[in-house]
Amino acid sequence: MSLDIDPSELSSRPRWRHLLLLALMLALLLFPLQRLAEQYYRGELAQQNSQTLDLYVANLLGILKRYEVLPQTLGDLPALRHVLEDKRNPNHVDEANRLLSRMRELTGADAIYLMAPDGETLAASNWASADSFVGRNFSFRPYFQDAVAGRLGRFFGLGTTSSKRGYYFAAPVREGASVIGELVVKVDLDHTETLWGNTPEQLVVTDSYGVVILTSRPEWRFRATRPLSEQERREIQSIQPYPTLDPQPIDLIERAWLTQERHLDEMGWTVSIKAPITLIERPVNTVLLVGTAVLLVLILLIGLTMLRRRHYLERIAHDAQARRELEHRVAERTRDLERLNARLKDEVLEREHAQQELFRAQDELVQAGKLSALGTMSASISHELNQPLAAIRSYADNAVVLLDHKRADDARGNLQQISEITGRMASIIAHLRAFARRDRHAPESVALQPALEDALALLAKRRRGLDVELIRDLPDAPLWVQAGETRLRQVLGNLLANALDALTEKAVPRKLWLSTEEAADSVTLLIRDNGPGFTEDALARAIEPFFTTKTSAQGLGLGLAICDTLTRALGGELHFANHEQGGALIRLRLCRSAPGVVPHAPEDPSN
């Protein structure tokens, strides 16, 4: 495809009038940009000030709430009631003064004082200072009038004696239904202004008259934010909350500030935070400056584009020639791709053949895994039957000796034990076969002590042959756990046999401790020996199948792995550690179960 270009078009000049019109249209975009910037920064400032205002209000309310219940609590103290009953007794007055002084130090209040029903101050925490409240009458204060009426009085004002601002809580002191006095707590709020710090935003707290009582700007303090009515002026002159009886209006231009307010209805206050509009104007002006710069750059780029238009059109002709050359190269590349596609088809056929070989290899690996699992199970059965076979051999040898000594009854007992052990071997084989099928046996209640005695009986001859001292700390009452009869004896037998194996490497004395720990939902058996203990490698790989520290003739390394598997199948847990006094410590935790029927413990095969 070719493109014909008119030479007259290449020589035309840029249309500067269009460029000026475009610049005027872009300049009109600065007005909505200014409005959007103002809305954005106003919202950001409002959100930030709202969070700051909430924090200050929470802090102010926290300070006031801390002292709100104090006058009601202190009013019941006997020392204060004694003064109200006999205000002329100097001992009672002195005791009350000292008590209020201690209470002020403990609570951090500015002043605490006790008033008679007529408004006379009988005792005060500042009784020893020059501006003591004792003897002064504050019946003109609103908090006194509320307390006399039986209500909790609240009032903010300037102290007529101390000339310090404070918030007053007053509570009536009652004797039955009568009010016999008033207890007043004054809270100093001066430090709440210092928490604000030196920031452009200003804090303003106004009372119900609209007069500023707390502010971060001292020249606004005790000035009115709105015109006061004659009734409000008379009330101010009556209760004297400010240093002036005629608060002057505040010199404040509202449109120069962004104001947010919170109303505290309980106190009748309004807490405001005022941010100067200049905080918004500065970033808005910055945005306008950046927008103007971007506009100028955009106009320059458009002009440059118009100037380069001729060069662009000239390049089109050269590009047409380049496209023809490119089409030729594409045709050659297409032929190369066709040859490459043929090669890929051959590789796909080769990979399909390799995949079939992989499937055959996978089938062989599955067969090898089955043979490995069969070998592992055979080793497990051999390991689990070695101990019962050893016990049968011991019982049979004892029976021969007993028959030689004509002790037929004792020999009959040994033969009975052999019969029970063969039954247990059949149960072990059945359990392993069920385990191989992933069979889920229902749990049953098993007594821990008889199962433990049974396992000890199987290993009694070996234990005495090693001269191992057995130390038991087991309760007399049966401990019932959730397990299977055969599986529990299988686990206990393996754990005790491992403990005896560890003691063979130690010189006399050899000791084995058995104890239990009980919890609401579990029972833990502790098996401890004074052997060499576990190595770090043994602790890390204790339950790994075929891992053992013994020779191949001594064991296959399956005992602890089988114990861990059986324990977890019972819902329990097996933990291995070294005792702080030496030797190994095994903790077997099993779930507690409801009591069942206690089986009889087997006889000791050494008898």
Nearest residue to 253 via CA among 282, 281, 220: 220
- Helices then strands (H, E): number in the chain? 17, 16
The answer to whether 69-188 and 191-278 have equal CATH topology is yes
- Quote the DSSP letter at residue 438: T
Domain positions in the chain are 69-188, 191-278, 441-591
Q: Residue 378 in 3-state DSSP? A: helix
Q: Is the pTM of this model over 0.85?
A: no
Distance between CA atoms of residues 274 and 49, nearest Å: 8
pLDDT of residue 527: 93
Q: Is 563 within 8 Å of 495 (Cβ atoms)?
A: yes
Q: Residue 521 in 3-state DSSP? A: coil
- Quote the DSSP letter at residue 110: S
What is the DSSP pairing of strand 153-158 with strand 212-215?
Answer: unpaired
Identify each DSSP E strand in 265-369 by its residue range: 269-276
Q: Is 84 within 8 Å of 182 (Cβ atoms)?
A: no
pLDDT of residue 555: 52
Q: Residue 380 in 3-state DSSP? A: helix
C-beta atoms surrounding 39 within 10 Å = 12
Superfamily of domain 441-591: Histidine kinase-like ATPase, C-terminal domain (3.30.565.10)
pLDDT of residue 287: 77
pLDDT of residue 550: 62
pLDDT of residue 438: 41
Let me know how long the chain is.
Answer: 607
Nearest residue to 273 via CA among 54, 59, 64, 60: 54
> 191-278 adopts what CATH topology?
Beta-Lactamase (3.30.450)
pLDDT of residue 360: 74
Q: Which CATH architecture group holds 69-188?
A: 2-Layer Sandwich (3.30)
- Quote the DSSP letter at residue 51: H
What is the DSSP pairing of strand 468-473 with strand 510-518?
Answer: parallel
What is the DSSP pairing of strand 121-124 with strand 153-158?
Answer: unpaired
Identify each DSSP E strand in 188-339 by its residue range: 202-206, 212-215, 257-264, 269-276
Q: Which two tokens stand for residue 453?
A: 């005695």
Which mean pLDDT values do the consecutive 10-residue runs of the chain (607 residues) have?
48 60 72 78 80 84 85 86 86 90 89 91 89 87 88 85 84 88 88 72 84 83 86 85 84 80 85 82 78 76 74 79 86 87 87 78 49 48 71 86 86 85 72 46 79 83 86 90 83 87 84 91 92 80 66 56 82 89 90 73 42
